[in-house]
Amino acid sequence: MTLGKFFSLLLLASAISVSANAKEVIRLGHYFPTEDFRGKTAQYFADSLDSKTFDVKVFPSESLVKGRDGFMATARGTVDVYSLFGGYAVGSVDLMRIFTVPFPPKSMSDAKLLEFANDPRVLETLGKQFERSQVKLLGFINSSGDTTVFMSDHVKGLEGFSGKRIRGVGGYTDPALQDLDASVVFMSAAEQFLQLQTGGVDGVITTNSSYANLGLSEVAPARLDRSIVRTPYALVMNLRKWNRLDESERQAIREAVQKTIKWSADNFAEESKRLADLVEEQSTAVIKLEGEDEQRVNALSAKYLSEFSKSYGKDADLLVKVFNEYNK
């Protein structure tokens, strides 16, 4: 064997060895501050992946991809994995609208919502739609918790929404706002404070977590005393990236997802109460729904649940059936 051939074989063997031992890089994005429970949940997932197999790079606070762009960025491969607010997926996955029916029943708790979202029948049905856009649905790892309308000024009941500019969050909550004669404005979570401060909007739909962590009480002291939506957060992955993994790597991700779901479910009740207490303490005015207003929001909820079933066929009927099983 010539010396040149010997070195060529040595370099080839070295390259094969490096390739075999190389870690799979996972770029995980989300739009939450690291101290936010949802940010902690995303980090928990990252930490649950074997560091010998995966090199997970976490990009919090929209540092790689904005929340509203999370679905398409995952589909394109700009990010490998994203923790996505359910309402941000409805433009590509119609069936995700089931999670945006306005004014959900009070009986649908965060725990029940996560159980419903992760029901195998739900994951299979939604998963097929996600894959049409080259996105793999891994599971749902968080609930939004109480998500309501916060206003820069106190208004009287639902009639006070008329003519107001309010940040929407997608899905059926947007036409529901329009049913209340409000105008819907789109913006990222990071823009809420400035838009409220400068009068760009009169109110925002946002979570208790965002309200407390972003200091929104300074610019939106009034809150609606009813959750307008309760939506799970999907953990999604670029489908091409998923398909390139071997079975052991896929199983490791599945196990990390299940571990994360359990951790989130076990800890969210305490976090939800803490946030509710903070919001009650920080907000100075409450917009109460009484009498006709209660009837009106119940009618809006029924209207859009019925519309969902009529618009999207047998798959929607199945999701509504499963939803009603958990809503008891």
pTM (two decimals) = 0.90
Residue 104, SS3?
A: coil
Whole-number Å distance between alpha carbons of 261 and 129: 22
52-77 burial by CB neighbour count: b if 16+ within 10 A, else e?
A: eebebebbbbbebbbbbbbbbbbbee
State in Å, rounded, how far the first CA of the chain is from the last one: 77
Whole-number Å distance between alpha carbons of 122 and 43: 25
Q: How far is CA 68 from the centre of its chain?
A: 10
Task: Give the count of beta carbons closer than 10 Å to the beta carbon of residue 223.
Answer: 25
Contacts of 231 (CB under 8 A, 6+ apart): 85, 86, 87, 99, 100, 113, 143, 144, 147, 169, 171
Contacts of 249 (CB under 8 A, 6+ apart): 24, 53, 54
Question: What pLDDT, on the 0 to 100 scale, is given for residue 9?
Answer: 52
328 residues of the chain, pLDDT tens digit each:
565 565 555 455 444 444 446 899 999 999 999 999 999 999 999 999 999 999 999 999 999 999 999 999 999 999 999 999 999 999 999 999 999 999 999 899 999 999 999 999 999 999 999 999 999 999 999 999 999 999 999 999 999 999 999 999 999 999 999 999 999 999 988 899 999 999 999 999 999 999 998 999 999 999 999 999 999 999 999 999 999 999 999 999 999 999 999 999 999 999 999 999 999 999 999 999 999 999 999 999 999 999 999 999 999 999 999 999 999 8
Whole-number Å distance between alpha carbons of 102 and 307: 12
SS3 content of the chain, % helix, strand, coil (to 5): 55, 15, 30
Domains of the chain: 3-144+230-274 (3.40.190.170), 147-229+279-326 (3.40.190.170)
Question: What pLDDT, on the 0 to 100 scale, is given for residue 189?
Answer: 87
